[in-house]
Amino acid sequence: MNIDTTKDAAKLEVNGKTLVMDTIRGVENEQAINSLNLRKETGYINLDPGYGNTGSCVSGVTFLDGEKGVIHHRGYELKELAANCNFLEVAYLLMNGELPNTAEYKQWNSQISENSYLGPSLQILLNHYPSRSHPMSVLASVVLSLNGFYGDLGEERFYQLDMDVVRLIAKTPLIAAHDYRRKRGMQYIPSDPTLGYAENFLHSMFGVNLSPERRKIMADSLEKLLIIHADHEQNCSTSTVRMISSSDANVYAAIGGGIGALWGPLHGGANEAVIKMLEYIQMHDGDLASVIKRAKDKNDPFKLMGFGHRVYKTYDPRATIAKSVVDDLLEKLGVDEPLVDTAMELEKIALEDDYFVSRNLYPNVDFYTGIAYKAMGIPKEMFTVMFTMGRMAGWLAHLLEFREDEHRRICRPRQIYAGSPMRDFVPLDKR
């Protein structure tokens, strides 16, 4: 990978010892200290809860500039990709490093299409989850179970991996769609190979209840939303996928873990929490002030959902794209969604409030996306599933990259122990 190493460029004086370390500069000039020998040479570890100052790898998939609000995938700016590609093209780019040419796209698209089905036993398995199960729990467990259907088929290792990638991209939308339908007593709808990726998901989910005209409008918006969710370098869920992959666990195990991490309301679960927050405001006569007050109250665990980001210290560029998708979608569907006004009002008040401005808290990718999903008739509890459908491409891209990484080793952080010092054992009858 294209990185520059500067020998002995960093010095650490600790406990009378001097450790000289190399520094590394990335393609976009971000820099790191290579602390590979820190513990061996000094006996010290670096303690960084939440890893805000710690790089876990060198990666070529995505670059983020949090200060400038810039994101590019394999060198292509996200807004360019969102404006000119469909999701499968971007998924191909993330995983292969280049945008597909016509022949490559045709083959990739037919691979996905050929695998866009849920066999009878997979449908039976899905139908047996409690109908009250959260869609993310169903998705995570069904993805893990795919190893039972497709794992260790004796296929040559890399063919197996390629096919695991295809199956996950192809089947995730169908698992989500059928989970929605079976909970409402509706039958499985087979894919329509004449439809694009996003449109086929809407077809599998809503069937004849959605007119082809409205489905096409929604699909155009959904393709863009899947693209802006596709990858975001070493976020919590992607790092989880890498962590699980580092033990040589199978693809489905790694992706199942990534789904679990994304589900959290501080991460991908925020889009569901944003809509609940906006609806709460609406139900309380637009009482924005109490929400802002609670978000600023250190004694209140409530956070302003859809606001703030570990990396972006300015407006999340994906939130800008999401807002334009929402405006375009609502206009084309002829939907008047008052939550948009509530969201914009909340954003305006927060961005005039020193608490948020001084902490660089701006809208993130989750702030507007739920409004688009709501307009499509997708239930709140499926919003993070929509995030998962997009992020599947990024997780797989990082998993493939990690598998090829010459420096790959099992991820195993250290710690500082703060428990009881060593003590003698006391038998039960003496305690």
Tell me how far apart the alpha carbons of residues 1 and 9 are, in angstroms, rounded to a whole number.
Answer: 20
Contacts of 394 (CB under 8 A, 6+ apart): 61, 62, 94, 230, 231, 232, 238
Residues 91 and 169: beta-carbon distance below 8 Å: yes
Chain residue at closest Cβ approach to ligand SDX: 308
**Pick 100 or 363: Cβ nearer ligand SDX:** 363
4 catalytic? Reply is no
CB neighbourhood size of 179 (10 A): 24
Q: How far is the CB of 152 from ligand SDX (least distance, A)?
A: 31
Instruction: Output the CA–CA distances (angstroms, integers) from residue 147 to 35, 122, 239, 311, in the order listed.
Output: 37, 12, 21, 34
- Selecting among 164, 179, 231, 366, the annotated active-site residue is 366
**Pick 303 or 380: Cβ nearer ligand SDX:** 303
Q: How far is the CB of 261 from ligand SDX (least distance, A)?
A: 10
Single out the residue of 110, 108, 115 nearest to residue 94, CA to CA.
Answer: 108
Q: How far is the CB of 391 from ligand SDX (least distance, A)?
A: 7
The β-bridge partners of 32 are 24
CB neighbourhood size of 244 (10 A): 21
Tell me how far apart the alpha carbons of residues 292 and 289 are, in angstroms, rounded to a whole number.
Answer: 5
The crossing angle, in degrees rounded to 10, of helices 157-182 and 197-206 is: 40
Single out the residue of 77, 265, 246, 110 nearest to residue 191, CA to CA.
Answer: 110
Type and span of the H or E element at 71: strand 70-73
**Pick 305 or 339: Cβ nearer ligand SDX:** 305
**Pick 124 or 357: Cβ nearer ligand SDX:** 357
Contacts of 413 (CB under 8 A, 6+ apart): none
Tokens encoding 20: 């000289």
**Pick 62 or 111: Cβ nearer ligand SDX:** 62
309 catalytic? Reply is yes
Residues 394 and 238: beta-carbon distance below 8 Å: yes
Q: How far is the CB of 208 from ligand SDX (least distance, A)?
A: 34
- Selecting among 178, 309, 316, 398, the annotated active-site residue is 309
Residues in touch with ligand SDX (CB under 6 A): 50, 232, 235, 266-268, 270, 295, 303-311, 359, 361, 364-366
Characterise 295 by phi-psi region: left (phi > 0), alpha (psi -120 to 50), beta (else).
alpha
**Pick 306 or 370: Cβ nearer ligand SDX:** 306
Q: How far is the CB of 268 from ligand SDX (least distance, A)?
A: 6
Burial class (CB in 10 A: 0-12, 13-18, 19+), 77: middle
**Pick 298 or 423: Cβ nearer ligand SDX:** 298
Q: Which residues are catalytic?
A: 309, 366
